[in-house]
Chains A and B, each alone.
Chain A
Amino acid sequence: MTNLILLNPEIILAAAGLFILLAGAFIEEARAKLLFHLGTISALAVLGMIIAHAAFSAYGAGTMWILDPGAQLFKFIILTATVFTLLLSVNYAAIQPRHIGTYTALLLWASCGMMLLSGAMDLIYLLIALELISISCFILTGFEQKNPRSAEGAIKYFLMGGLSTAVTIYGISLFYGATGTTSLFSGASAVGLHLNDPAYLMGMLFLLVGFGFKISMVPFHFWAPDAYEGAPTPVTAYLSVASKLAALGAMMRIFASVIPHQALNITLLIAGLAALTMTLGNLTALFQTNIKRLLAYSSIAQAGYMLIGLVVADPIGRESVFFYALAYLVTNMGAFAVAMIVAGRTGSYELEAYDGLARRSLGLSIVMVMFLLSLAGIPPLVGFIAKFYVFASAVNSHQFLWLAVLGVVNSVVSVYYYMNIARRMFFLESRDTSPVETDIYTACVIGITSAATLFMGLLPETFMRLVKDCVSFHL
């Protein structure tokens, strides 16, 4: 049985993208914003489908793809991020009306690729999903045509992305050479059979590197700050949340449950990379003067914390990554939304734009402080619970206690640059004292994400149950 029906959400999303692309060619420029709403509605509809089948598990087409609560969770995260991104885009000035159709369609297709990725069980299928994501995201990054930074970011992203794809394909071919199959889940690819085969191990390592690019793991992170800085801000938010988490979800599936990294004996390698990722991300973020670059490096560091859960890879470790992904979704989206609003008013992404923001717009400043504190992991916000979860898994494992200690030191470092923004907002004065207004769509995003940041921190039980279910029903 091919079970194509399992791909209905992805198919619907892709078709909606196609329709919007076509509609974009015919719609009047004055009404083009309608396409954003169309995109939002289709993403919401698909989101509804995912939620309705949240606890569903099945295989498709001889285990090319699977459906399980874990995959559904990541699809939920991806689609929520897509909805937020579309809402942020509505009043983003740099997107020209005649390109709105293309923009929305690309965003939906990228999301479609990410959804495919989160259920991938076959390397060819996985590669197609990755390519769909990458190509859509390259174009989205370069979407600000008048901004040379955007083009620069897109080119860098494209070159590095191309390299990562090449490495991934090479890894897949080695894997195929060693096992005779591209399926991750068949008897032929079982770890025990190939442990002494260097080609197999090299294949897995190359795959790891390929994913490393996607989640901006050090030392494969160089593209991220430039791409993030150049891309239109909603796209930056999308890249830092959806793209990263989707790749992380796939990584969790492959390296923490299907072919455990402990069996491959690369646990220490991943632990080292996690340590490097959080440390380098945080130390570099200290010196940033541009909010988008700062958040880019901060998101590299956040990936490092999440990797701790992957390193530990026991049930608590996997739960912690899933929970962290949820926390990161709402917190980072919110932070980018505020950054976009502030830049829209002041015209600058430099940190100076935040001077005296508390006087201009107290509500916005308090919400931003909430997001920053959540990223730093201060209770009672959701970021704290997420870090608590990750550190708990590391402490529980004994072996990786050192990662938790390093995580602690890193959290302290990160507070310095996060609170530097709070300092600018609350302690400094600005020459311009006019209030900063928020349009209704962005206000909606900020409202939802800030409420989630607070309430998921105060009452995390529901979500902890959710991630526990995801891990225990992992196929």
Chain B
Amino acid sequence: MSLLSLIVITPLIGALLILAIPGTRIKLIQGVALVFSALCLVLSGQLYRVFDTTTAAMQLVQRVSWIPAFNIYYYVGVDGLSVALVILTALLTVLAIIYSFNITLRVKEFFFWFLLLEVGMLGVFVSLDFFLFYVFWELTLVPMYFLIGVWGGPKKEYAAIKFFLYTLFGSLLMLLGILALYFNSTPHTFDMVELINQARLLPLTMQIWIFLALYVGFAIKIPAFPFHTWLPLAHVEAPTGVSVILAGVLLKMGTYGIMRVSFPALPLATRWFMPFLIVIAVINIVYGAFCAMAQKDLKKMVAYSSVNHMGYCLLGMTAMSAIGFNGAVLQMITHGLITGSLFFLVGVIYDRAHTRDIDAFGGLAARFPIYAGLMIIQVMASLGLPGLAGFVGEFLCFLGAFNSWPYYVGIATIGILVTAAFFLRMIEKVFLGPFNEKWAGLKDMDLRELIAIVPLAVLTIVIGIWPRFCLDLIDPTITYLVGIIK
């Protein structure tokens, strides 16, 4: 069995094992969840070690015939586009599982769904067969539905079903797009690598329709304007660990899909759609930022900042150059790290104060130095302070896009300003000023929370100082990708 299959199957074994343990053995269930997700992380560390950064080809490929009647293969492999996302997924899952040890309600089901979710996410990033990709894509849906719906906040049920319906609608349209690609290839195939070679020769009208079908599926996941309305709701209602995964990994599946399939397989349509994509990117950036500014709820603010940050990612993608694409992929990674830890941090304060109202706090910095320190690092990273991870990605995205779309990029910079404004205002209101004595009894972060958040903060700083640590993985594939799109 190849390393990638091992990585995907490890959480699945864990999930099935958890199902077999009686629900009352909470410690054991937590232990199994931790061990299997940690094992998955270790394996993905091995993946990082063996990954060859000098080639753009698919690596660690495994290909087994699955449904010959439709020429479907179990076909997995990674390249620069996906390898970092696989590692990010494994890392965030372990941390989110550690953080979620504070869950007391129906522990068994929680970790079962959580590990199943990890299987789906990892599967999406390693699949090279479009059918397999779709199966994994949908596999993330059901666990997420239950994770939000059972363990979420007051409006959890509505948030869960809205998430489910939105995503399902998109993914079913995507399925039609996949089928169209399949029937337009000879011999009929779902092999992504093969489809990329064949579909690019299709006539423009056909490409546009297929692009549109795929785009709706991906855009809902990103979420790109105007399909973003499920996101703030799902984020706010979801429990902390799930929000982290949602923001850190699930959103990336959308941008990943576009870069993996839509762009290289449908270059004519991509060029045709570019003027629309740049507009959508700018709306995401500016509109997302203004929405975040208007929020009083800390978590909702971070959620809208995700809309804004995924806009940067789209902006980098519209550059159609190696710089922009590198920026977009790096932005996916850094956004996962930064926003992931921001959601953790919001969870930390909510667990203590049971409120997320920005105006309810004040002067926390003096009493909770560790918490304040971590929060300030991540906020600064998120608003793009040089020296931290967020800056590198954003800078590359803007730099890349500036060449092709100078005016749009000019408008998009408003977004950066607003982002800085609302984050700094939040810092001021929550951490500075007079201390609200109501919170005098609260304690600073405990060990469990530190274990969950500190690794992310460290990575944020490391990537900020030495981005090649990440970019070296990505760059060869991106160079190749840009080559075939042009």
Contact = CB atoms under 8 A, between A and B. Distances in A.
A373 interface: yes
A196 to B, nearest CB: 36
B175 A426 contact: no
B103 to A, nearest CB: 15
Q: Which of B66, B70, B169, B172 has the most CB of A within 10 A?
A: B172
Given A378-B142, A379-B134, A426-B149, A408 B176 contact: yes
Interface string B142-183: 100110011000001100110011001100110110011011
Interface string A411-423: 1100110010011
B168 to A, nearest CB: 5
Given A379-B134, A415-B168, A423-B161, A461 B69 contact: yes
B176 A391 contact: yes
Chain B interface mostly helix, strand, loop or mixed? helix
B209 to A, nearest CB: 9
Range of interface residues on chain B?
20 to 34
A434 interface: no
Query: Which of the listed residues A373, A388, A391 has the most CB atoms from chain B within 10 Å of its own CB?
Result: A388
Contacts of B150: 426-427
Contacts of B157: 423, 427
A405 interface: yes
A412 B141 contact: no
Nearest to A366: B19
B112 to A, nearest CB: 9
B64 interface: no
Nearest to B23: A362
Q: How large is the interface on A (under 10, 10 to 19, 20 to 34, 35 or more residues)?
A: 20 to 34
B202 interface: no
Nearest to B131: A388
B180 A395 contact: yes
Contacts of A409: 169
A465 B70 CA distance: 10
A380 interface: yes
A366 to B, nearest CB: 8
B139 interface: yes
A468 interface: yes
A416 B165 contact: yes
Contacts of B180: 395
B175 A461 contact: no
A460 B168 CA distance: 22
A427 B155 CA distance: 12
Contact of A411 (B145, B149, B172): B172
Interface string A383-408: 01000100110011000010011001
A465 B69 CA distance: 7
A169 interface: no
B179 A416 contact: no
A464 B156 CA distance: 40
Given A408-B172, A412-B165, A415-B164, A395 B69 contact: no
Contacts of B226: none
B161 A416 contact: yes
B67 interface: yes
Which 3 pairs, one residue from A and one from B, show the smallest C-beta to C-beta distance? A464-B69, A408-B172, A395-B179
26 contacts: A369-B142, A373-B142, A378-B141, A378-B142, A379-B135, A379-B138, A380-B139, A388-B175, A392-B179, A395-B176, A395-B183, A404-B179, A408-B169, A408-B173, A408-B176, A411-B172, A412-B165, A412-B169, A416-B161, A423-B157, A423-B161, A426-B109, A426-B149, A427-B150, A460-B67, A468-B69
Interface of B: 23, 66-70, 109, 134-135, 138-139, 141-142, 145-146, 149-150, 156-157, 160-161, 164-165, 168-169, 172-173, 175-176, 179-180, 182-183
Given A419-B161, A465-B69, 13 more contacts: A378-B138, A379-B135, A388-B175, A404-B176, A408-B176, A411-B172, A415-B164, A415-B168, A423-B157, A427-B150, A427-B156, A427-B157, A461-B67
